[in-house]
Amino acid sequence: MSRKRRYYREDRRRPEYLEEEDWEDDADDHADVERSVRKTSWGLLAVLSFGVLLSIAQALYVPSGPLPAGDAYRVVSVSRGRLQAEEIGTGRVVSLDDQKLVRAALDGSIKRGDVIHR
């Protein structure tokens, strides 16, 4: 039992500290800190300038207007012998009475969502 007690006491022993002569005061520490601060500053500046550029681009961006209506239609359905389509530019639903288009829709060559030009 005395061994266990001695082993326990060895573990609980106070840690050995370095003598003052063993401590080295690195002269490079100041240069390393300065270098890391400089890198962090440049990184932060890059992120902020990118954000400013994005906000300027958003302010200058002008979305395009609606597409010209012309004679382009998107097929919606076929009902009562007519082709239901919506105009691309305005979105207005139009009923087309063209029998060639109705036959093409019924045989599957024109499907819902296809764009046709008249």
Q: What is the mean pLDDT of residues 28-34?
A: 76
Hunting for tokens 């819902």 — which residue is that? Answer: 112
pTM listed for this prediction: 0.41
For residue 101, count other CB atoms closer than 10 A to its CB. Answer: 20
How far apart CA 105 and CA 111 sit, in angstroms, is: 6
Q: Which positions ≥6 away from 70 have C-beta within 8 Å?
A: 88, 89, 117
Share of the chain above pLDDT 70, in %: 71
DSSP state, residue 62: -
Q: What is the mean pLDDT of residues 47-66?
A: 89
Contact between 115 and 74 (Cβ < 8 Å): yes
pLDDT at 23: 54
Q: What is the mean pLDDT of residues 66-78?
A: 78
Q: What is the mean pLDDT of residues 35-47?
A: 92
pLDDT at 118: 76
Q: Comparing 51 with 22, which gets the higher pLDDT?
A: 51
pLDDT at 9: 63
Domain boundaries, the chain: 72-117
pLDDT at 57: 93
